[in-house]
Amino acid sequence: MTEELKGQLAVVTGAARGIGAAIGKQLASMGATVILAARDKARLDQVRQEIEAAGGTAHIAQLDLLDESSIASLAKTIQTRHGSRCDILVNNAAIGLIGKPLIEMSPADWDTLMNTNLRGPYLMVRALAPLMIAAKSGHIVNISSLAGRNPLPNGAAYSASKWGLNGLTYSIAEELRPHNIRVSVIAPGSVNTSFSHSDKNADKKIQPSDVARIVAMLVTQAPQSFVSEVLLRPTQKP
């Protein structure tokens, strides 16, 4: 345990497993109080217990990014129970629906993917950035993908959502800079999580902890600068 983030509150979406769980554990190990947000309460409880066993502090919040009222409820909880404070927001939750050509994707699946991967982060920023503006400080980190910079056949909708998330990130970074809020995006390649749908060598893939360490670096930068984008690639192609 360290204390770089002592006294700070961090919210991490998609925190029940994989990258989100690793980010939650990393920030808690640095002294932050972490709100682990996702739909799977049982898995959230497990991650919370692991954080507390290591000496950290975490709370869980069942969150459905498809439900605007669920996000509003989280914001209200932060205002009433955590002193209207949100120092760090990590928008990590996403779905893939990768494997079929775009013309075989139903409009319902398209809407679910876009609402999760792009509308969800927008709603989270809309709900929590005002708390950062009031405090005149904060960090927002959006977890994108190299698929947001490169073509992804049979994953066009996913790729489009991440291109959109990149554009959202760069634009709100400019909007929020006057309020001393830094907004960054991390774009990893193949990460060794259950989200991945490939036969690539798991040992050569980026690990969730690799992404978590980048988040830690971003939220502990010196105040006069910020890293707007990190492209994270495996050393050896898996």
Cα–Cα distance for residue pair 33/182, rounded to 1 Å: 19
The answer to whether the pTM exceeds 0.75 is yes
Q: For the chain, which domains are there?
A: 9-232 (3.40.50.720)
What digits encode the pLDDT tens for the residues 137-158?
A: 999 999 999 999 888 999 999 9
The reply to whether 158 belongs to the active site is yes
Phi, psi of 36 (to 5 degrees): -90, 115
CA dist., res. 178 & res. 188, Å (int): 28
Give residue 147's region: left, alpha or beta (phi > 0; psi -120 to 50): alpha
Task: Kindly give the pairing relationship between strand 181-188 and strand 9-13.
Answer: unpaired
Average pLDDT over residues 27-40: 98
* Arithmetic mean of pLDDT over the chain: 94
Q: Which of 35, 36, 132 is nearest to 85 (CA)?
A: 132
Q: Catalytic pick from 35, 138, 143, 158?
A: 158
Q: Does the structure show a pLDDT above 80 at 195?
A: no
Tell me the C-alpha distance between 201 and 192, whole Å: 9
